[in-house]
Structure 1
Amino acid sequence: MAERQEQTAADAVMTRIGQVVILHHAGDREEARHRFLDLWAEIGEYGDPLHRCTLAHYLADTQDDPWDELAWDLRALAAAEELTGDRLAEHEGTLAVRALYPSLHLNLAADYVKLGRAETARTHLRRARGAADELGDDRYGDGVRAAISRLELRLGEGDSSGGGAWGPPRQRP
């Protein structure tokens, strides 16, 4: 019974994160940032790694300063790396967490481009490409792969087969 209550509480946190994502996508970036920060304070920097990964991943998008964006994307990656097989098994969407790695590294590559650190950007871009096999053959996966290709072209990496005009490479589920 306690296990079921814990899972319900965990699902409630993910639901709350999702609600703020909707707010952000509706255009209220400032309010979304404040709500995400309130959730971060509630979860804590040592809370559930899945919650921290998801929250930091989205919180990065609400930042105005590229250094702040980088800091949140680094937090997201660090939290993802804390996730163990046992911990992932407790949550639905285990594959979805592994599928975040291409996006996590893509976002870090984009952050480093904004900061003028092309070599570090290339390193994360190669990691994004290497993790892209975890992506599904769906709209999200196609979008992340296309964004990787666009950034590769911008940085002179890869080929021109999957590119297109470069746009913001941030891809979220």
Structure 2
Amino acid sequence: MFNGWLSKNKVTAVAIASPLTGEAVPLTEVPDEAFAGKYMGDGVAIKPGEGKLVAPFDGVIAHLIDSMHAVIIEHASGLQLLVHIGINTVALQGKGFKAFVASGDKVATGQTLIEFDPELIQAEGYPLITPVVIANQEITERLEYDYKTVVAGEPALLQAVLKK
């Protein structure tokens, strides 16, 4: 009866909860020009305080990278959020990462997506700072965010105002 009641054109903003516990900081602090220069999309970075990544909104796993260091989650509005745990962590080839979801899975806000070992990542020489960016920024009018201490699953990390 209500199937399709949330039409993609009726959603005007998407509230994005924090996918990690830690400190939200500007993307310019990421030691990778692709993220720091916002070439991968606008957003924030989080310096994780623990090794657990959760769903920032109800949606679908659009893509889980094979090495489990990054995931793209899609909201019903079509908005896609990329969360990339650490920098250059693809080189770990999955070492220190455990995924609890697969591409195509439906997820709920706060659901655990990936657990990772922060100590191992840092011991291997990789920065732990984690970019959280809008992958398809062309559908957004603007992005609102605040740099602060964040808790995984709690609201108000980002607010994406969508184009009409």
Q: TM-score range by the shorter chain?
A: under 0.3
TM-score, normalising length: structure 1: 0.22
Ranked by relative contact order (alpha carbons within 8 Å, sequence separation 6 or more), the top structure is: 2
The structure with more radius of gyration = 1
- The structure in which a higher percent of residues are helix is 1
- The structure in which a higher percent of residues are strand is 2
TM-score, normalising length: structure 2: 0.23
